[in-house]
Amino acid sequence: MKVIVNFKEGQYSVYIPKKDIEANIIKIEKDGVFGGKLYLENGMILYIEPQNEDVVFPKTFDAKKL
């Protein structure tokens, strides 16, 4: 599914247009790179392939719901 990740005021958030859900990301699995498992404040867990390059936000990703 397509998700839009944003970074504002030191906090990552994700928007899922298909479900009209917006939630803060409370934990990111990978250190040093953006990606892996993303734990959302609503209990949902998403997986985004780890990004090797610097990411400029907001950015659209393909994510899998775990």
pLDDT of residue 54: 86
The answer to whether 2 and 64 are in contact (CB under 8 A) is no
| Residues with pLDDT less than 70, the chain | none
The enclosing domain of 40 has a CATH number of: 2.40.50.240
pLDDT at 53: 82
Q: Specify the number of domains making up the chain.
A: 1
pLDDT the model gives residue 14: 98
For residue 57, give its domain range. Answer: 2-65
- The predicted structure's pLDDT at residue 15: 98
For residues 66 and 19, what is the distance between their CA atoms, to the nearest angstrom? Answer: 15
pTM of the model: 0.90
